[in-house]
Amino acid sequence: MLNPWRISNIKTMVTYTDVIKYFGVHLFDEGFQSFLTITFSDLSDYDIFNGYMISGETCVELGFTNNDAIYDDDENIVFDKGNPFFSHFNIFPKSKIIITDLPFAVEFADTREIVLMKAGSPTQTKKGHLDFLNKSFLVDNYKVNGIVVSFDYNPNDETINHIEIRDNNLVHHLKL
């Protein structure tokens, strides 16, 4: 849970379009590092095993593609760190304190019905049940100019759990 006293540590507000400008940029690029430093006060180090940097304070997960890395995730051994580049990010309801503008003018309080009115018909919808997690899922994917916006809903009340935004050309395992 976000601590109210820590909100003052948030350095800047951004729109999702401010963030996607960095898609394809390598993690250690000076301009990207500057953006990260200016925007996030509590960003975790890059975790090669899960591919993310996480800000608990702002509820934003920055995802990276790292095709060059060589590691053993069973033993947590890194042989070659590779060259990770920024390819996707997840935002959650509490992210609104830093992300001031969401795709299609959607708000986290919107239900799926409202999202469909604002965004139109999705490019792809995935709905089902994962037996091994004993969890149902409902995800609408929209492809707009090479960017994919995915709305992950609570399948029971169709409220937004989180939004993932990714470069369709950089995240091959999720390509539409």
Is the model's pLDDT at 104 over the cut of 90?
yes
Q: What is the pLDDT of residue 175?
A: 67
pLDDT at 58: 85
- DSSP reduced 3-state for 2: coil
Q: Cβ neighbours of residue 174 under 8 Å, at least 6 residues apart? A: 88, 148, 166
Whether residue 69 is predicted with pLDDT greater than 90 in this model: the reply is no
| Cα 64 to chain centroid, rounded | 10
Kindly report the pTM of this predicted structure.
Answer: 0.85
- 134 vs 103, which has greater pLDDT? 103
> For residues 157 and 171, which has the higher predicted lDDT (pLDDT)?
157
CATH, range 104-170: 3.30.1450
Nearest CA among 117, 114, 61, 135 for reference residue 92: 61
Cα 62 to Cα 4, 10, 51, 53, 58: the distances in Å are 23, 16, 8, 5, 11
Query: Looking at residue 96, what is its pLDDT?
Result: 61
The more confident residue out of 69 and 47 is 47
Per-residue confidence band for 68, with pLDDT thresholds at 50, 70 and 90 = confident
8 confidence band (pLDDT: 50, 70, 90): very low
> What are the strands, taking DSSP E only, across 13-134?
52-55, 60-65, 70-72, 77-80, 85-91, 124-130
| Residue 10 reports pLDDT greater than 60 | no
Residue spans of the domains in the chain: they are 1-101, 104-170
CA distance 15 to 18: 5
